[in-house]
Amino acid sequence: MLRTLALLYITLLRDYLFTSQKVLTYGYILSGRFLLSILQEGLIRSKTVSSWALAKFTIEKGIRMNKESIYGLTFDQLAAWLKEYGHKKYRTLQVWDWLYRKRVTNFSEMIDVNQECLQLLAAHFILQSLSEHLMQESADGTIKFLFKLKDDNLIETVLMRHKFGLSVCVTTQVGCNMGCSFCASGLLRKNRDLSSGEIAEQIMKVQHHLDNTKQGDKVSHVVVMGIGEPFDNYKNVIDALWIIKDHNGLAIPERHITVSTSGLPDKIYEFADSNLKVNLAISLHAPTNELRTQIMKINRAFPIEKIMQAVDYYLEKTNRRITLEYIMLKDLNDRREHALQLVALIEGKRRLTNVNLIPYNPVDEHHQYQRSEHESMLAFYDTLKKQGINCSIRLEHGTDIDAACGQLRSKQIYVEARMEVYLYDDPENS
């Protein structure tokens, strides 16, 4: 099949150049767009394969497989792209309105956009690069979605209900390489980064789910704390943030968006200079290098002092409050001495620092870790408060489902892998 397609391509290229006398760039020649233009203009009729319809279908299928999510474009990027094809700015306004205000799920639903533009969009972009693979709903209203990407990878997205609104936790990578020994996300190593479109589309999928309930609910907050290290996929995450906060799009205020990082100092500096007024959280989880290295491998490369230097720069540059996330692990980092070490660590920056104490969601594969006792968490909290540290204990969500980040994904991959082995070994399937 590949040999046939290669011969087809060579024939199409030779005949097209001979017929049209056009000069083409190398990149354009390699693109599916070039092949489709040949077909549409009808300049040649291939004899390399017996069926012209088969050739057209194969080429169009290849183009469809390579199409990106339209949610990966900012308004300005979409406007510039449409302008290249001769469309005015008002056309961008129309499309943007259909995407984010009317929230259609098919280009054909954009009824006041002309057919030429719709065909152009459909030829180059997709509206649904994610499909719902599994969904779990908690008694408290928390919903965990397991989405399948177009390459069959699985990611998690979580909808949480708060008194202040509806929050969505998004994933930024397929798997994670940070090596946090207590975390379910790292059970499966990083496969690839998500595109900006795949990140933004997670919020759209959740919003579409809410729209279908006819309750008028709308996503009001976003936390970038799902599977993966956001700053290890920095450019795509930043692009997604600009899309998420666009006042004509999802219109989620910057102060309602939080990005969490395990601590990549160079990216913290870059984030401080980005002019994004989005909240920043640091996954600290330990007050000393010895303890942090024990539970977070990333600390070997970026020890606490380097992270705190970057935090100092961020605070000075932005004058914005920062959150230090601290997961409470029984008898490991939850004693009074640890609380006092944490106080010493943030001395001098307490005015703009908040410590968020996180109850641990146990993971079967990390049986060496247990959740701190409630009394220990309260004692830790009291120690910080008495030392003048702003702190809070995170409200739990979805404790009756696979609540830990990455837990549902890793379980489902394991179940499906076992099913494949069973089917392969089953004599009836031989």
**Of the candidates 242, 164, 250, 165, which has an alpha carbon nearest to the alpha carbon of residue 207?**
250
Tokens of 20: 């049209």
Annotated catalytic residue, options 117, 156, 198, 391: 156
Q: Is 405 a catalytic residue?
A: yes
**Of the candidates 222, 223, 174, 167, which has an alpha carbon nearest to the alpha carbon of residue 198?**
174
Eight-state DSSP code of residue 427: G
Coil, helix or strand at residue 330: coil
In single-letter form, the type of residue at position 163 comes to K
Q: Is 84 a catalytic residue?
A: no
Instruction: Detail the DSSP E strand segments found in 29-185.
Output: 68-69, 125-126, 130-137, 143-149, 154-162, 165-169, 173-174
Coil, helix or strand at residue 10: helix
Distance of CA 187 to CAs 32, 153, 179, 366, 376, Å? 37, 15, 9, 9, 28
User: What stretch of H or E contains 326?
Assistant: strand 322-328
Q: Furthest-apart CA pair in the chain: how many Å?
A: 82
Annotated catalytic residue, options 169, 176, 180, 405: 405
Do residues 188 and 368 lie in contact, with contact meaning Cβ atoms separated by under 8 Å? no
User: What DSSP line would sit under 358-418, residue for residue?
Assistant: EE----GGGTT--BPPHHHHHHHHHHHHHTT-EEEEPPP--TTS--STTHHHHHHHHHHHH
Tokens of 127: 């509206």
- Burial class of residue 349 (count of CB atoms within 10 Å of its CB; 0-12, 13-18, 19+): middle
Active site residues: 156, 405
